[in-house]
Structure 1
Amino acid sequence: MADHYEVLGVSRDASPEEIKKAYRRLARELHPDVNPGADASERFKLVTHAYDVLSDPEQRQRYDMGGDGSAFGGGQGFGGFGDIFETFFGGGGTRGGRPRSRRERGQDALVRVTLDLGDVVFGTHRDIEVDTAVLCETCQGSCCQPGTSEATCDICHGSGQVQRTVRSLLGNVVTSQPCTACQGYGTTIPYPCASCQGQGRVRARRTVSVDIPGGVETGLRLQLPGSGEVGPAGGPNGDLYLEVTVASHETFSREGDDLLATLEVSMPDAILGAQTTIASLDGDVELEVRAGVQSGDVLTIKGRGITPLRGGTRGDLRVAVQVVTPTRLDAKQRALIEDFAKKAKAPAPRLAQFHQGMFSKLRDRFRG
């Protein structure tokens, strides 16, 4: 009798996992359904017998001590039979299983939308065009031509499975597999719907109305449950995901829930102060520029920022002052400035310790 270890191609000190792995590899190669040759059939029997012996610790010990290694000694020997099912039928042929359902959940859909900065202050409403699968209006998801219906499969008689006989050491074993005639559904469609080719759904463009909350930002995805594509045979819809991009604004930028902007102030207004009106994203706002304001000072207007995504108090509008120095003066203007300089006795320009650039200074003031 051939040595069981040589038959499986493993060493005598092989682990149980190595023995099992070797058996599965050879079983897939030599099984009669895969390799119908007579030689392969004989080798398959030897491989299965060797595995039956070596997979059982008690029989393996007896075999290693010089026993005959009978696969059925000691009332054991059904390990190989079980592994045949596991290898070829996923843990045993499923007898009497239920047929598959044609109705399946539809896939999710992703749509990208670009918003203006003003849209995210309070939120906005959008009608989104989505090109996806919708329910077939002709058959309403039945997949059949109107006036017809599904028919019980003649091959599996509605079970969705067919029985198959497999030869093994224990004789003929009957297993069940999905019916190839009906793909496991248990029914066939003799007259498929002409509009959807028997799918129960068609591609179409539809409109989805969406309320986009305030406070969204670029990269955020909003989930709309049940607004994705309809599933096969009229199955439940998947979800729709809306990915937001917020476009840049020519005046305002955003930091968290605050809006940032720069206010250019003339030298006279910076010296004397002024009252001005600025246009925010939700209407005009009165703003007081105090006398003596400096470039880089930040004026805060409470509650004129963005509404938080999860609710709460609106952010602020923060305006950084930039004093504009005139570059062109006529003779009279120059004389007035020179007279002012003499009377003010302003100190001459002087060096001071370097702390940070103007940009960093503004940034830190914006951040409070």
Structure 2
Amino acid sequence: MAKNYYEVLGLSRDASPDQLKKAYRKLARKYHPDVSKEADAETRMQEVNVAYDTLSNAEKKKEYDFQLDHPEGFGSFGGQSGHSGFDDAQFYRRGAGQSGQQADFSGFEDLFGRFGSGFGGGHSQYQHDRRSKQPYKGEDQHASIEVELEIAYTGATQNITLQIPTFNAYGEPEVQRKTLQVKIPKGLKDGQQIRLSQQGQSGINGGGNGDLYIEIHYLSSTRLRAEGADVYMTVDVAPWEAALGQSIQVRTLDGSCVQVNLPKNAKNGQQLRLKDKGIPNKTPGHLYLVLNIVNPPAQSAEEQQAYQAFAEAFQQFKPRQP
């Protein structure tokens, strides 16, 4: 059997689908040949793709786990007659040597997910379909990309490059690089999909191409993240602004500025909801301001004296229990 797919992804056999997806995205960022500095990035990326394609498909995973438990009865996964999938060693060879074309990512990470059910049942199924002369529509395929959260408010047109599993004229599986121009409309919620008609796997015997579905995810940080159509943004405030309930100006992600009245004695981490100021979806989300109280440094003598006066004014305040 080829490399253990769980080891390729750094996971145990009881890993959840969410853990599988996170591991895949992490490795895709590390090894994609257009961005990676690793010497064997192309090969490692192909290994990661094949491992994820297998383990994220329930039927393939079941078959693969059975083969792990009974190694004496099988060769490389997918290479035996009567089994779905494909020969992973052949997949690696045909996927190699295709980097070097520098794509314009324009803020995108070239992250692609599992496409349909891999190669649609493998080489034997493809040859059967070709011999039958009956037209077959190509499989729909799926990709996942990450973009800046600001795009949810403005929309954007960007170029992305994907590696698409397909068949050549001889019915052999290979990886095709495809660069597409994608229009992302404003108002998409995190996790929503864009459908690109007939950009999926090629049809057989004159059948139409499948569609390509691109799932949009917004980049997040400790200060900014999206949940569906809601947006959480950390806002720094001074201690006196929080204590006195002063009005502060906040620049939102659509570029506008809003005046926000803080409640008196606002606490660190407290959330203030700005209704319908989140992602402008058909049902608009809300913008939640997460307050972060920032204490100014006491560097000059005057600043230190001000802190001393503050301490004297609040002698009864005990931040720690005795």
Q: What's the TM-score bracket when you normalise by the shorter of the two chains?
A: 0.3 to 0.5
Give me the TM-score of the superposition, normalised by structure 1: 0.40
Greater relative contact order (Cα < 8 A, sep 6+): 1
Larger radius of gyration: 1
Give me the TM-score of the superposition, normalised by structure 2: 0.45
Name the structure with the higher strand share: 1
